[in-house]
Amino acid sequence: MSTTTVSDVHHLMSATEIAKRLRVSRQYVDKLAKTDPTFPKPVAVLSGIRVWETEAIEKWARATGRAK
């Protein structure tokens, strides 16, 4: 995982935010993160919360037909 600065935070999404974006449960996002090799890897853990780059999630969602 790379170093994340405060200015990068607006480019990050938590599992809860990803779930809202994809219209699925947070638990389903956790399952995707564990079992789908194409799902982006988190870029950091902030206060115990995994976060992903928004652009990587958006790109993945478009590529897999999950963009809504």
Q: What is the domain-level CATH number for residue 10?
A: 1.10.10
Assess if residue 48 is contained within a domain.
yes
Residue-averaged pLDDT of the chain: 90
pTM of the model: 0.82
Assess if residue 68 is contained within a domain.
no
Assess if residue 40 is contained within a domain.
yes
Assess if residue 67 is contained within a domain.
no
Instruction: Render pLDDT for 4-32 as a digit per residue (tens, 0 to 9).
Output: 555 555 699 999 999 999 999 999 999 99
Q: Which domain holds residue 30?
A: 6-61
Q: Smallest Cα–Cα separation from 14: which of 42, 36, 34, 38?
A: 42
| 37 band by pLDDT with thresholds 50, 70 and 90 | very high
